Amino acid sequence: AHLERIEAVDEEVHAFLHVDGERALAAARDVDARVAAGEPVGPLAGVPLGLKDVLTMRGAPTTCGSKILQGWHPPYDATVTRRLLEAGLVVLGKTNMDEFAMGSSTENSAYGPTRNPWDTSRIPGGSGGGSAAALAAFEAPLTIGTDTGGSIRQPAAVTGTVGVKPTYGGTSRYGLVALASSLDQPGPCARTVLDAALLHEVIGGHDPLDSTSIDAPVPDVVGAARSGDVTGLKVGVVRELGGAGYQPGVQQRFDEAVALLSSLGAEVVEVSCPSFEQALAAYYLILPSECSSNLAKFDAMRFGLRVGDDGSRSAEEVMNLTREAGFGDEVKRRIIIGTYALSSGYYDAYYGSAQKVRTLIVRDFAAAFETVDVLVSPTTPTTAWPLGERVDDPLAMYAADLCTIPSNLAGNASASFPVGLAPEDGLPVGLQVIAPPMADDRLYRVGAALE
């Protein structure tokens, strides 16, 4: 049914970059056979899923939305992929994304944008717009995203779906093509809170192949999603994230959702996190610094595209031609910013200062979590904007990440849950919940209360 749905709508939505129906049907039949043989299978066995095209899977291409990886078939499964396959999930294919996960609209994909199923003239968010749109268009009941600065949560908000960024180290980065290694985190995307929790349980937990993986059990996310009890939960509304500059309908739905939590027994207070105002600036130095280094491996020798290799050119010339042709504008912009920020004369002034801001943000969170159990804010300042509106204005594009970035810098658990439609445009609004590291279960408790 999902393959038929993809066939019917994906020409317009373009949530998928690659679909392998035969493989999916074979995997589904395999689960059927296991059930028929009386073998025990997990709760998500046989459920179809879309995988963001930044996670490797043997036997399928991985492009990261970039031309430079065209034709690359990774020789190994990401840990997340392996856990999905072992749990019997049926991978339908790979979902569209901004090139190397840089963007907030999926318009930076080298393979064309994804459209928002609520209004196909609008963006589905990014970088994981494909994973979010696939859910909203009923092309898949579950998808996997990755979140470095909001790429799970912001697309979830603007498509009316659920997206969770686990605690940094809570899900494995092994086999996730790195954008910024100190920020990247794979996570579950779904249409319901319980679906997301069940998926979180499958992909989460310690992985010795990832040096920053936390050696502790996955918090009881499924129990929390089934409970939804927020009685006595202390909820802090972040003063710096909201109010002036936020779309009125976004603020209105957010305020109503907070009032609902309060009527369900949560204790709501206002909390100030002053350094959040510098978070965006710090992120857009730290991320380019890390990605300029991570993307150096795309040298035309080891992966995908190679341009101009006709015997007349040096390796360096081939490398330059390939990177020139293979990377899009946003990727080049960030490589330039990152190499500049890391250069010896500017390292302290830019990268060093940004790291200090990062520490201040960690301290703001620590202080806040001494008095509250979770923090909340709108997930994004606006609903989905029209395709094309921000493509020539990188700063306007970056502003979509205002609320989501602090949790990546601090490594907290964070999620976006749908809280209705903005009255002025009828488009989905998301509420963000942030919990301390390894308290991911609290996200689901709040999400289930709002559902």
Active site members: 52, 127, 151
Which of the stretches 110-118, 143-151, 194-202, 361-369 binds ligand GLN when contact is defined by CB under 6 A? Answer: 143-151
Select the residue whose beta carbon is closest to ligand GLN and give its number: 151
Binding residues for ligand GLN, total number by CB under 6 A: 13
Which of the stretches 69-77, 100-108, 315-323, 370-378 binds ligand GLN when contact is defined by CB under 6 A? Answer: 100-108
Among 6, 9, 91, 102, binds ligand GLN (CB under 6 A): 102
- Under DSSP, the state recorded for 74 is -
Q: Least CB distance from residue 415 to ligand GLN, whole Å?
A: 14
- Under DSSP, the state recorded for 404 is T
Rounded Cα distance between 223 and 50, Å, is 25
3-class secondary-structure state, position 238: strand
Q: Least CB distance from residue 386 to ligand GLN, whole Å?
A: 18
- CA 91, 97, 100, 103 dihedral sign is negative
**Cβ closer to ligand GLN: 194 or 284?**
284
Q: Least CB distance from residue 188 to ligand GLN, whole Å?
A: 15
Instruction: Let me know if 353 is exposed, middle or buried by CB neighbors in 10 A (0-12, 13-18, 19+).
Output: middle
Binding of ligand GLN at residue 151 (CB under 6 A)? yes
Cβ neighbour number for residue 114 with a 10 Å cutoff: 37
Binding of ligand GLN at residue 430 (CB under 6 A)? no
Among 93, 124, 129, 149, binds ligand GLN (CB under 6 A): 149
- CA 243, 244, 250, 253 dihedral sign is positive
3-class secondary-structure state, position 156: helix
Binding of ligand GLN at residue 148 (CB under 6 A)? yes
Give me the DSSP letters along 381-396: SSSPPBTTTTTT-HHH
Rounded Cα distance between 352 and 356, Å, is 6
Among 45, 101, 197, 403, binds ligand GLN (CB under 6 A): 101
Binding of ligand GLN at residue 287 (CB under 6 A)? yes
Binding of ligand GLN at residue 145 (CB under 6 A)? no
Q: For residue 235, what are the β-bridge partners?
A: 268, 374
Peptide bond before residue 127 is cis, with ω within 30 degrees of 0: yes
Residues 113-142 that bind ligand GLN (CB under 6 A): 127
Q: Least CB distance from residue 337 to ligand GLN, whole Å?
A: 12
Which residues contribute to the site for ligand GLN (CB under 6 A)?
101-104, 127, 147-151, 179, 287, 401
